[in-house]
Amino acid sequence: MLEKLNLILNHMIGSLIGVFIGHSIHRYFDYTKNPSLYEMQSAPWYTSIQLNGLAVALIVFVTIIIKFIIKKRMGNN
């Protein structure tokens, strides 16, 4: 059971990082194509990338802590 949870957490980490990279690339290309849309905002165009990066980093950090706990419990069996 713990091995299956560890595998799910690995997939979750990979998916989160992949979605973050894809979103960041999309946001950059959208900004280079339509810079006037982002000039109307009070925040810089990369603010959503920073906020998403912070959220992904927090979730990945918590997931890695859970993985360490799982590894420790798997070693005790």
What are 13-68's pLDDT values in tens digits?
999 999 999 999 999 999 999 999 898 888 999 999 999 999 999 999 999 999 99
Distances (CA, A) of 8 to 21, 31, 49: 20, 34, 25
pLDDT at 29: 97
Q: Number of folded domains in the chain?
A: 1
d(CA 74, CA 28): 42
| Structure letter (DSSP) for residue 47 | H
DSSP string spanning 8-24?
HHHHHHHHHHHHHHHHH
d(CA 61, CA 17): 12
3-state secondary structure at position 34: coil
6: domain range? 2-76
